[in-house]
Amino acid sequence: MSVRRFFNKQLVVRKLKTTTGYKKTFKATATTEGGIQRTTGLQTEQGAGIWGESYIGFLPIDLGFTPAPEDMVSDGDGREFRVKTVEKIDFGINQHWELELEEYNPQDQ
């Protein structure tokens, strides 16, 4: 059974890019089908004693670029996630990117 059965959302991946001079902003790099699942019982520290839920994201391997830590992923429900770690999974038909995500909330930063 393929991991693609978990690809049930339209996800937008945004990378930090230079706009002018030293100014950087997140720019949409790809819109793709993927999946996001909450990891039960795990929390990540988002800074200065602020804890948030941890998630796992699944993206197809054939994106045309490599996801990286600090990229942003948003789903169709308006939630945004920051990429913490990236791992390439290559198990026969189950080739995909597996991302450790934390829900991004700019008010907590």
Q: Please tell me the pTM assigned to this model.
A: 0.79
Q: What is the CATH number of the domain that holds 83?
A: 2.40.10.270
**Residue 2 contacts by C-beta under 8 Å, 6 or more apart in sequence?**
93, 94
Neighbours of 57 (CB within 10 A): 24
Domain that residue 31 falls in:
3-108
Residue 75, CA distances (Å) to 37, 88, 103 in order: 12, 21, 11
Count of domains in the chain? 1
Q: What is the pLDDT along the chain (109 residues), one digit of tens a residue?
A: 566 666 778 899 999 888 888 888 889 888 888 889 888 766 666 666 666 678 999 888 888 888 999 999 999 888 899 999 999 988 877 888 999 998 876 555 5
